[in-house]
Amino acid sequence: MLGDMTRTGLLLVVACAFAQPAVAGPRPTGKVVRVERVRASTAVPRICDVQADRTGNCFGPEPRIGDIITLVDDTGVIGEARIAEASTFAIPGRQASPGKGCDGLWTVKTDLLRGDLTGAFGRTVGVIDAGMHPRQSRMIPKDQLASPTGRAEDTAAMGFDRDGDRVADIVLLNTMCDGSGSMCIEEWVRSGTEMKRVYQVNFQSCGL
């Protein structure tokens, strides 16, 4: 699946997570850090990548014009972008499976509100989510992620810390779809002390 995603440009935020895992920064020692909590949102977070030319893709429910993407890496927040256009993702020359559609992938254009993407290698990843702290949210390095299912065959591809406590609050998971035999990407979000699955996309339904 990841090979197809790289060749077609489909949801490169996931492909980039495997090809370019983030490197963990040094952990603070001997210091008490006050973590500012952000009011939780009931909306499903959207995971988006943004290129230097301000185009990109989003995973999850349809993004809306005006939605704000908090752009992060493993050091923290590096910028913000605003959705200017959004349309259903489509692969030229291919069609989605009849009656299924591909409701979880979107092509977007953005306006950069702050930050500088001109020096970025590849794509910059971010989250549309009211729970992302404007300063303390960050990406979790892949080598520090665990599958929320606990199954060895499931692979955590990407994770985000909403509030700076270095615990993954949002995880994208590579897994087999429920009983279908095809591959899925799932989104899991922390609710209290538990991780819950909030979204799933079967890429076979997208024509892959």
Domain boundaries, the chain: 44-90+100-206
Predicted pLDDT of residue 140: 95
**Please, which pLDDT band fits residue 145 given cuts at 50, 70 and 90?**
very high
Residue 204: both structure tokens together: 């076979």
Distance CA 32, CA 18 (A): 33
- Average pLDDT estimate for 124-137: 95
**Please, which pLDDT band fits residue 68 given cuts at 50, 70 and 90?**
very high
**Please, which pLDDT band fits residue 88 given cuts at 50, 70 and 90?**
confident
Distance CA 162, CA 146 (A): 17
Residue 48, classified by CB atoms within 10 Å of its CB into exposed (0-12), middle (13-18) or buried (19+), is buried
Report the candidate in 2, 16, 5, 191 with the shortest Cα–Cα distance to residue 89: 5
**At 200, which helix (H) or strand (E)?**
strand 194-202
- Average pLDDT estimate for 162-172: 96
- Average pLDDT estimate for 177-186: 80
- Average pLDDT estimate for 36-54: 77
CA dihedral of residues 58, 62, 66, 71 (deg, nearest 10): -30
Q: pLDDT at residue 25 above 50?
A: no
Distance CA 87, CA 138 (A): 27
Q: pLDDT at residue 191 above 70?
A: yes
Q: pLDDT at residue 193 above 80?
A: yes
Q: What is the pTM of this model?
A: 0.78
**Please, which pLDDT band fits residue 91 given cuts at 50, 70 and 90?**
low
Distance CA 41, CA 34 (A): 21
